[in-house]
Amino acid sequence: AVQRTFSIIKPDATKRNLTGKVNAMIEDAGLRIVGQRRVHLSEAQAKRFYEVHAERPFYGDLVNFMTSGPVVVQVLEGENAIAAYRDVMGATNPSEAKPGTIRAAFAESIDANTVHGSDAPETAAEEIAQFFTDDQIVG
């Protein structure tokens, strides 16, 4: 079925001017970018977005990194978009990401791993709603 997923192009990628290259890989994977905005996350926004990881040891570094520069928040649409995007992103840890994936191509470390993508339909809806109103998504 056609699904939507939420994506973030992270500060390591915007810093290296890789937004277009990442978007090309997204589109080559058959996903459509139906909403997109560049934003510098506040600490409050980053903390809320990653609240599920609040008790993990990497939470502080993750929030610091995600607020260190601009990000691009996106809504991607396509057949099985959540799994399709996870496939093209590659593993969270770039040392485990398969060749041909975004993280294998560009990620610098497990934090500076270039992209985020939702892991399930419920989280996708929740994450999209944190950054987009319905009229900002044009399919």
User: Closest Cα to residue 91, out of 77, 75, 109?
Assistant: 109
Token pair for residue 46? 């980053």
Nearer to ligand CMP, 21 or 50 (CB): 50
Which parts of the chain are beta strand (E)? 2-9, 32-39, 71-79, 115-117
CB of residue 139 to ligand CMP, shortest distance in Å: 24
Cβ proximity to ligand CMP, 36 vs 92, nearer residue:
92
18 binds ligand CMP (CB under 6 A): no
> Nearest Cα to 129, choosing from 48, 38, 30?
48
Q: Which stretch binds ligand CMP (CB under 6 A): 37-45, 69-77, 105-113, 126-134?
A: 105-113
Query: Is there a catalytic annotation at residue 53?
Result: no
CA dihedral sign, ordered 21, 29, 65, 126: positive
Is position 116 an interface residue for ligand CMP (rule: CB under 6 A)?
Answer: yes
Report, as residue numbers or ranges, the catalytic residues: 116
Q: Which residues bind ligand CMP (CB under 6 A)?
A: 53, 58, 62, 92, 110-111, 113, 116
